[in-house]
Structure 1
Amino acid sequence: MAGVSLKCGDCGALLKSVEEAQEHAELTSHSNFSESTEAVLNLICTICSKPCRSKTESDLHTKRTGHTEFVDKTSEAAKPISLEVPKATDESQEVVDASGSSSQPQEMIAPEVDKKLLEELEAMGFPTARATRALHYSGNTSLEAAVNWVVEHENDSDIDEMPLVPVNTKVEAPKPSLTPEEMKIKAQELRERARKKKEEEDKRMEREKEKERIRVGKELLEAKRIEEENERKRILALRRAEKEEEQRAREKIRQKLEEDKAERRRKLGLPPEDPAAVKPSASVVQEKKTFLPVKPVTKVEQMRECLRSLKQNHKDEDAKVKRAFHTLLTYIGNVAKNPDEEKFRKIRLTNPSFQERVGGLKGGIEFLELCGFEKIEGGEFLFLPRDKVEMAVLNSAGSELNSAIVNPFFGVL
């Protein structure tokens, strides 16, 4: 097969003609050329008509522009290469073809481009051939398109060659460039369009944010309502439990009074009281109990009442009250665990820590006295004698203190 290209032995580049080989040698100083049966690729971009001489060029063009569709016209352009440099002949000389008939060679000229755009490109420093080539292949539309084309094709080997087109090729008239006034008007229109689009986008985003804000607000209100409802139910349950506890305590007191009364009648030798006869007086007693509180009788009830009074006397100082309860629980617990240790059964009243935690609060010392502590040495100490240590009383005191600590509504009613 006849050679259809010249291959550079130094870099492997394929060249279409002797002229290209000479230019390549001048640019690179390579001199090792040989004929090759491998044709120089002629890949034409279907979008911008950019010719690519190799797969590397087409890949680079795709990377720069995103164009991926190419038409392979290699077979149309491939023809046996002539190793002789063509001699210059008169344009009017006839060329005889293989069949013996004569034909006039087709005349090639530079394409017509927008002169104003060409002058602007030349003023920017581009050579005339490169500027003409850029305007021709970019569609001769605008200065920006031509500059972009130059940037994309600056590595092309023929970037500075003047493009040629046949004389009889119909060249579309270049689109007239806009005047400065028209350019200003068009730019203003584009800015106005962009502004309106941005305003519409901002309004849409604002509507979305408002919808989200309303949705979140509703969810928060609903969560708050549910939390308040649960809290209300919890408070009602605690108050109901407190009332039931007080009712049970009152019932125990009433039973105790009835038992004591019956015992006194028995000791005096009186007959048992007729329930029907005491019914009216019972209603009176019940009415009095509604308005006059019944004083605690048992020591446990006295302890509970003492703690309740302590909390009510210092209802605005919850932290101090809770600390006093914990301190009292510590004193009682130490005595219960170590009843033989005198240091746990003796408290100095003038101790600053004791005064701050218990002694300074009304009801604190009274509670210890209910547990068996006594003032000695002129009221300087609280002392619990060993023979007066009653574990049942200490355990009851601990239970009442625990109840007062864990019940948040203790002493509220």
Structure 2
Amino acid sequence: MDPQLYRSKEIQDMIEEEDDHHGRPVTQEKITHSGLFGRYGCDTNLELFNSTLQAMASINPTPNFIIYTGDSVGHSMPMDQWIQSHTIFAKMVQSLLPNIPFIPSIGNNDVFPDYNVTCSDSKLQFLSQVWSPWIPQDQVSSFLQMGAMAVTPIDGLTVITINTILYSVNQDRDPLTDTDPCGQFAWLEDQLDIAQSINNSVYIIGHIYPGLDPFYQLEQWYEPYILTFYQTLSNYNSIIKAGFFGHIHRDQIRAPAYDQPATNPQPPSTVNPYMPIFVGSAISPVYDNNPSFKVFSADDYLNIQTFDTYYTDIYFSNLLNHTNWTLEYNFNNVYDVQSTIIDGQVLNELAQYFNLNRFGFAVYDYFSTSSYDADAVSNICLVGNPTQSTYLECLDAFDDVDLLMTKLRMARRMPKSSINR
């Protein structure tokens, strides 16, 4: 979030000039002004953020809890504005969404400088103070150590929020020697053990999901960490109901197998073989997307049953001088999902449907940007393949010109890159 109502020319210039790790500016058009609710290519301003919180309170006044997948601070901010933005964010959430359990996770822009976080450092200390209303007292020590916590917002559910920045390819670490940064994987397994022992269901939330980005099909975590994550979760797939992540400013799904070929060459288990991952878009329209948020419904066993996505169009909001938060789609209706729950198997089957029905995939791709413009990444291999090796194997299984072009584009790239969202 940008703490200024209208973005200053200095910040605009800084964003235009900064490389976003893709070798291109964050925005490629000259910013000459900003509308009341911001504009595409800019981060969220106060008017848009205020409108979003009010829309959430109006559409669903009494949710059981709110999951927030990180990045409450805009891109490329100097430290004084970074601190100010964090403070404003926390105050506005507490003011407009009072008495609702709010469960945050750390985004790469939530630390300063970007992606710069280590074990027990000053950034975690700062966030523990700003986010203190949302961190249970018995979770303060784990948050201060690694930026993770486990909370029980309702009976029967454990929500585990992990610090995914520790695993990012933008971190300067060797995953072969530093196999468990800050001891978070061991901590995660302990939390899963506890949840299992008391028969709790589990949601796992974080900022950067363990898989490939949709823009360049490159790993967002170091691959050893991706494999360790799914291997750790594979012993608890009966209680893990969903994962919720963000980072890419795109509304997408993932359904990777818990048993990855590199760690378990056997076929995936027949019981809950795939992890259902929901990747939220963003409020910020900085990466050519409209703002959006989701309202999930779950059954008595905390299985996700469906969700509604709401959005507002930035262009028309500025034109009309007011936002118009609208139901964009209901997941079950738009994709004709007949299952009573949305688990990893359902998401995996939906990906196969997309391969057979390109119109269905075109709809999915359009909603990916919250009805702004389709990315036209014409393949479905991203849904189930979190590493480049399995992704390429998936491409090999298809005889399709679009997928061939994707492989040719990948062959021209550097072996390692990253995405800065």
**Rg bigger for which structure?**
1
TM-score class, shorter-chain normalisation, is under 0.3
- Looking at both structures, which has the greater relative contact order when contacts are Cα pairs under 8 Å and sequence separation is at least 6? 2
TM-score computed with the length of structure 2 as normaliser: 0.19
TM-score computed with the length of structure 1 as normaliser: 0.19
**Higher percent of residues as helix:** 1
